Amino acid sequence: MTAMSKSLINRKTATIITILLILAVIFMGITSGEREKVSVIERWIGNVITPIQRAVMTPIHGIQDRVYDIANFAQLNQQNQELEQSLIEKEQELIEARLSESELEELRGLQESLNFVSAADHGEPVSARIISKSHADWFNVFTINAGENHGIVQDGVVLSEKGLVGRVIEVGDNWARVMSISDSNSSVSFKVLRDANVEGIVQGSVTDSLEGYLFDPRMEIEIGDQLVTSGQGIFPEGVLIGEVTEIGKSSEQLLDAVKVEPAVDFQKINRVLVLDMEEDG
Amino acid sequence: MNKIIIIGILTVNIILQTTVLNFVSISSASLNTSLLLIVAISVYLEPKESFLYALYTGLLLDTVTGVFIGLNTFIFLLVAYGISIIQEEMVKESYLTPLVLGMVSIVLYNFLSLFFVYLMGYTVRLAHYFSFNTLIEIAYNSVFMLLIYTLFSKFYNRRIKEVKY
């Protein structure tokens, strides 16, 4: 091959690659941000891949469950479970005791599932398992094994037995993608359980902890305060978010910044519950 | 036949990367085996072939895990193209080759991801990406690169022998 023909081929290849790279950037622009629906191709690929991911994860979940069981047995599992149950009940009692009477009216019947969310505000809760996670830590996104066919909708609220997990961002036929509240692009408005007048907003960070600030800097917040959702936005009121671990001034030195340890351990979470908050029960 | 096997390997890899390999992450540093495979493929195969594999892997990974489509496709294509330019000058048998390529590709992947995630209007926290964790991720992936590179070179050499005889 002559040097000239080689150079022509190289130039042609470079042109094709450049076009493909530009197309990739255009695709990024089109598909970034909130989308009402995933494309047919994405849906189709998801429908093919997710059953395989589910099959791969089934034995892993099985092993995880067994290991968990054995570990707990060694540490007096029964006693642990009772204590955990008692703690959840106490926390719930605390929530009910501290919320105002009118709020309690709205939150009647919270005993369903996590005992946090009013049954009248949502459709049938759908339980699901996590079948895959995003490999990179740009986003805290994971895929669950339930989708449109199971009643999952976009912006569905995702909970675990410990508290708030996140929201549904994409829905396929038998799968859905969930953005956790620990993602940098998630934000949740909260109120302090001890004093419902203390409100603010927390956002995900690159670590699994949450960071936020109070709306009113004159309000007081303490380390150890438990935060629950305030009901503004898509998340229902009264769901446990986490516990305050650090308090400081935000970069503007005007607002009280808080660091929050989420109630949910995002590294260990396997099972979730999804609620459609738009459907009237 | 080779093409079907490689497509199969890349597909199975994506499934494993998004499921099982999440459990073998060190700290929060995870393996990007798709990128490492594209690097190995680009070193050994014809440029046009490696571009097609990069395109396929990028699109599939974007669709399966991405919040938006195109990020992995862009990076994989760029990596494949970059390697194709220096392919002839490379000492493929040296252990340094996969180590250096692994490190450079992971750094490039992180840098471009950060850039595009920011460009698309998502929140990024720079401090995290210049942390100790990033070093763990680079080291972890580079060591794994050695393994993938060695396995792929054996696969490639065996196939070449089979074609000859």
* Span A225-243, pLDDT tens digits: 899 999 888 888 888 999 9
Tens-place pLDDT, residues A201-214: 998 876 668 888 88
- A187-262: in CATH 3.30.70.920: no
Alpha helices in chain A (DSSP H): 3-31, 40-74, 77-98, 101-106
In angstroms, what CA-CA distances link A213 with A28, A45, A216, B39, B121? 32, 40, 9, 44, 22
Residue B130 has pLDDT above 90, yes or no: no
Q: Report whether B13 contacts B33 (CB < 8 A).
A: yes
- Residue A269's pLDDT band, with cuts at 50, 70 and 90, is confident
Which residues make beta-bridge pairs with B40? none
- Residue B101's pLDDT band, with cuts at 50, 70 and 90, is very high
Q: Does B125 touch chain A (CB under 8 A)?
A: yes
**Parallel, antiparallel or unpaired: strands A210-214 and A256-262:** antiparallel
Of B76 and B165, more confident? B76
Interface test with A, best of B123, B125, B130, B144 (most A CBs within 10 A): B123
Of B30 and B150, more confident? B150
Q: Domain limits of chain A?
A: 42-180+267-275, 187-262
Asked whether this chain's domains A42-180+267-275 and A187-262 adopt the same fold, the reply is: yes
Task: Kindly state the percentage of chain B with pLDDT values over 90.
Answer: 48
Question: What is the value of pTM for the model shown?
Answer: 0.75
CB-CB neighbors (< 8 A) of A132 in chain B? 18-19, 22, 64-65
Q: Of A57-61, A161-165, A214-218, where does the model show the most confidence?
A: A161-165
Segment A25-34 shows an average pLDDT of 84
**Secondary structure class of A158 (helix, strand, coil):** strand
Say which residues have a Cβ less than 8 Å from residue B107's Cβ, sequence separation at least 6: B138
Residue-level pLDDT at A8: 64
Least confident of A201-210, A221-230, A244-253, B66-75: A244-253
Residue-level pLDDT at B149: 93
Segment A158-182 shows an average pLDDT of 89
Residue-level pLDDT at B14: 92
Give the other-Cβ count within 10 Å of A225's Cβ: 20
CA angle in degrees (0–180, nearest 5) for A69-A72-A73 = 85
Give contacts of A 179-218 with B, CB under 8 A. Answer: 179, 184-185, 203, 205-207
Question: Which residues in B14-157 belong to E strands, given as ranges?
Answer: none
Tens-place pLDDT, residues A69-107: 676 666 667 777 777 777 777 776 776 666 655 455 544
Q: Does B123 touch chain A (CB under 8 A)?
A: yes
Q: Which CATH class is domain B2-164?
A: mainly alpha
Per-position DSSP letters for A235-269, written without gaps between them: SPTT-EEEEEEEEEE-TTSSSEEEEEEESS-TTT-
Task: Kindly state the percentage of chain A with pLDDT values over 70.
Answer: 74
- Residue A109's pLDDT band, with cuts at 50, 70 and 90, is very low
Give the sign of the dihedral formed by CA A32, CA A35, CA A40, CA A46: positive
Structure tokens at A208: 């699994």
Mean model confidence pLDDT for chain A: 78
- A42-180+267-275: in CATH 2.40.10.340: yes
Give me the half-sphere count of Cα atoms (radius 13 Å) on the Cβ side of residue A163. Answer: 26
Structure tokens at A147: 């989708």
Residue A116 has pLDDT above 70, yes or no: no
Q: Do B128 and A207 touch (CB under 8 A)?
A: yes
Say which residues have a Cβ less than 8 Å from residue A245's Cβ, sequence separation at least 6: A209, A223, A259, A260, A261
Alpha carbons B141 and B36: distance in angstroms, whole number? 8
- Residue B20's pLDDT band, with cuts at 50, 70 and 90, is confident
